[in-house]
Amino acid sequence: MPKSDIEAIVEALWKAPTKENWGKFVKALPKSKLKYYKVVFKKGKIKRVGDLVHDYAELYDAKEKLVTKIPIYQKNSGKIDGATYFMKGLLTLNRVDEWIKA
């Protein structure tokens, strides 16, 4: 089965979370069936920006069915930064139960 636009972009994001690939994600988001996100904290509170590579966001459709997972950081010229800005248009599903206290 051929991959949808968003699947191909997410795959590219995991390989290289660059600003260009995040830009493609932003463009494809309105046409996708994605509606919600949930940030998954693998290591609790972050101590340094590099810790963001362990965390990710799960993306869900309107029926709250898990569709895919994406990174929550961008890496440009070796520099890591947050990337939740690019997920605008999605709604959070994060709950107190999933919060890992550091």
Partner 1 sequence: MISQDLKTLEERSIYIIREAKLKFKNVAALWSMGKDSTTMLALTRKAFLGKIPFPVIHIDNGIDYPETYEFREELAKKWNFKVIVEKSKIMPDSVGSACCGKNKPEALKKVMKEYGFDALIVSIRRDEHGIRAKERYMSPRNQSFKWDYKNQPAELWDDYSSKSDAKGHIRVHPLLDWNEIDIWRYIKQEKVPVNPLYFSRNGFRFRSLGCTHCTIALKSNAKNVDDIIKELETTKVEERSGRSMDKENEYVMQRLRALGYM
Count of residues making up the chain? 102
Residues sharing a CB contact under 8 Å with residue 29, sequence separation 6 or more, in sequence order: 6, 87, 89, 90
CB 3 → partner 1: shortest distance, Å? 24
Report residue 74 as tokens.
């961008």
83 contributes a contact to partner 1 by CB under 8 A: yes
Nearer to partner 1 by Cβ, of 2 and 33: the residue is 33
Nearer to partner 1 by Cβ, of 6 and 87: the residue is 87
88 contributes a contact to partner 1 by CB under 8 A: yes
Residue (of 71, 20, 21) closest to 49 by Cα position: 71
User: Which x/- pattern, by CB under 8 A, does the window 37-56 give for partner 1?
Assistant: x-x-x---xxxxx-xx--x-
Stretch binding partner 1 (CB under 8 A), from 7-15, 16-24, 79-87: 79-87
Number of Cβ atoms within 10 Å of the Cβ of 95? 8
9 contributes a contact to partner 1 by CB under 8 A: no
Which amino acid is present at 93? Answer: L
Cα(52)–Cα(43) distance, rounded to whole angstroms? 9
The residues binding partner 1 (CB under 8 A) are 37, 39, 41, 45-49, 51-52, 55, 72, 81-96, 98-99, 101-102
